Amino acid sequence: MRRLILAPHMDDESMGCGGLMAKFPDECVVVTVTDSGATRAAEHARAMDILGISDTRNLGFEDGVTDQHMTDLVRAIDAVLGEVRPDELYLPFPSLHQDHIAVYEAGMRSARVSMSADHHFPPSVFVYDIAAYDVNLYPTDLRWNVFESLTEEQVTKKALACTAYQSEIPSEIHPINSVKQLAAAAGLVRLMAYAEQYALVRQVRR
């Protein structure tokens, strides 16, 4: 199994898929889209070390304006898909932030069936939740309908990975400081101690 996690910024991957990465570290490849500078890069390296992720890449787009480079972004994601050839692709929910919307849209375009013979078609596509945003700019038909069960150890690693991003934590009361509580809320109502929630876009079984 190969799982490709596409994150607009360094920290989105840990908030959205940190438990999944802690659960399947050898199966996950993390690709961050924007270059957020040396401080955030160092925090990202620390977070990936906590989660056990060894395969990471950065596409180097300018933070805040990825929507202005859609053609180049789709082309870059196409190249990564062709190299990694993932079974599962994970995209950010298109909430408020322009980079999140752009990366979601570019990822969906890259997940297309293509006329090109060398284009990789990921059989399964999921959207992950980033709890920092609670309002959407436009309606979607995405629903949280897939729940990944997590252990105490896995959710603890997710929490530690999130707190590695000290430069991104604005206050003590913030979703990035409430990872275990959010995972418990998603899990307990589904008879699991902890869980991450995902929206299934497509699943092709072979």
Q: Quick one: tokens of 33?
A: 């889209």
Q: How far is CA 169 from CA 11, 33, 108, 132, 198, in A?
A: 10, 20, 29, 11, 24
DSSP assignments along 165-193, one per residue: -GGG---SSSGGG-HHHHHHHHHHTTT-S
- Euclidean distance between CA atoms 190 and 148, whole angstroms: 10
- Of 130, 71, 133, nearest in space to 102 by CA: 71
Give residue 34's pLDDT: 96
Contacts of 117 (CB under 8 A, 6+ apart): none
Q: What is the pLDDT of residues 97-116, one digit of tens each?
A: 999 999 999 999 999 998 88
Other Cβ atoms closer than 10 A to 115? 6
**Structural domains in the chain?**
3-203 (3.40.50.10320)
Mean pLDDT per 10-residue run, the chain (206 residues)? Answer: 97 97 98 94 97 97 95 97 97 94 97 91 96 80 96 98 91 87 96 98 93
- Of 100, 131, 102, 104, nearest in space to 197 by CA: 131
